[in-house]
């Protein structure tokens, strides 16, 4: 009998490889696991072969139809599920477990270029003002957290992961640990650097290096950061607009581009691996330019 590879065992090996050699984050691995589970349950509920060398292109196509019709997933979700399956099969081929890759003829649905939602300059100022004036016990922490994302465009998780030692108060820069353990340096204004310093002083003596901590002294969780922001949004009446803390990152990128910063620099500041991810912000300049052109006196 031909050599049979157990698909679950292979998948476990794939996850180990992604974690050890590709530095995949906990979040990415969790997504891979979830995506794989859906694929397996689809295969077994349709009595399809799950030996890795028995899976065919037609099975994958049926699976895509299932994701669309039965699961009603959005294009973006289907894209991710197909791409994570692709990574798995590419791994199997690279390890010589498979000769033919059933995913080879499969193209994931195209990514829809959606314009990300972002705050206007006025709204950002209003949010920061409200956070600053709050009478919450943690008002300073919350204000600094929100302003940090507004003035650096870092991701929510990156903000939560920050330590005070990542800030260079002399040079007014912050070292960010991004996706896949990639580091980047983002500049901050002298004004914000001073606000950060005041916040730092308020935390002395430091029992915990984490920049943002809870009342019990532990690093705050990313979901807590979300709640803090939603509370502020409620106060300013912007909580029903589908805007989130991540929208501040979009606002940052949009404002940079509207003010003439070139796209490659914005890509570097945001820590985007692919410049195509950054080009989505270029649309805003077109809108902005239309407004400017409309001001022509003739």
* 175 catalytically annotated: no
| Catalytic site residue from 68, 179, 203, 235 | 179
Active-site choice (132, 177, 246, 288): 246
How many C-beta neighbours within 10 Å does residue 98 have? 18
Task: For residue 202, give Cα distances in angstroms to 138, 140, 195, 210.
Answer: 11, 9, 11, 13
As a whole number of Å, the CA-based R_g of the chain is 23
Cα-Cα-Cα-Cα torsion 195, 201, 207, 209, nearest 10 degrees, comes to 30
Whether 245 and 238 have beta carbons less than 8 Å apart is answered as no
Q: Is 156 left (phi over 0), alpha (psi -120 to 50) or beta?
A: alpha
**Which residues touch 192 (CB under 8 Å, ≥6 apart)?**
147, 148, 151
Indicate if 283 belongs to the active site.
Answer: no
Give 217-220's long-range contacts (Cβ < 8 A, gap of 24+).
219/160, 220/160
Q: Which of 141, 147, 155, 250 is catalytic?
A: 155
Q: Is 272 a catalytic residue?
A: yes
How long, in residues, is the chain?
298
Q: Which one from 156, 249, 250, 252 is the annotated catalytic residue?
A: 249
Please indicate whether residue 97 is annotated as part of the active site. Answer: no
Torsion angles phi and psi, residue 115, rounded to 5: -75, 120
Residue tagged active-site, from 141, 147, 250, 272: 272
Active site residues: 155, 179, 246, 249, 272, 281
């Amino acid at each position: 009998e031909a050599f049979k590879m157990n698909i679950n065992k292979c998948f476990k090996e794939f996850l180990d490889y992604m974690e050890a050699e590709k530095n995949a984050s906990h979040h990415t691995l969790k997504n891979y696991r979830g995506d794989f589970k859906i694929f397996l349950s689809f295969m077994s509920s349709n009595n399809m072969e799950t030996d890795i060398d028995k899976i065919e292109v037609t099975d994958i196509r049926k699976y895509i139809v299932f994701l669309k019709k039965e699961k009603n997933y959005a294009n973006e979700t289907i894209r991710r599920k197909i791409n994570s399956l692709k990574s798995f099969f590419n791994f199997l081929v690279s390890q010589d477990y498979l000769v033919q890759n059933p995913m080879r003829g499969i193209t994931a649905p195209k990514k829809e270029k959606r314009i990300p939602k972002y705050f206007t300059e006025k709204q950002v100022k209003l949010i920061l003002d409200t956070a600053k004036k709050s009478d919450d016990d943690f008002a300073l922490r919350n204000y600094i957290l929100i302003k940090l994302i507004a003035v650096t465009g870092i991701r929510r998780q990156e903000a939560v992961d920050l330590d005070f030692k990542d800030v260079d108060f002399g040079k007014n820069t912050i070292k960010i640990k991004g996706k896949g353990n990639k580091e980047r340096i983002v500049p901050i204004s002298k004004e914000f650097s001073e606000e950060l310093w005041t916040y730092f002083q308020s935390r002395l003596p430091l029992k915990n290096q984490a920049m943002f901590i809870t009342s019990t002294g532990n690093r705050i969780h990313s979901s807590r950061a979300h709640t803090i922001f939603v509370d502020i949004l409620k106060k300013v009446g912007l909580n029903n607009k589908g805007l989130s803390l991540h929208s501040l990152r979009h606002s940052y990128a949009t404002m940079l581009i509207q003010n003439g910063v070139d796209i490659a620099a914005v890509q570097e500041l945001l820590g985007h691996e692919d410049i195509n991810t950054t080009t989505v912000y270029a649309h805003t300049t077109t809108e902005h330019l239309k407004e400017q052109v409309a001001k022509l006196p003739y």
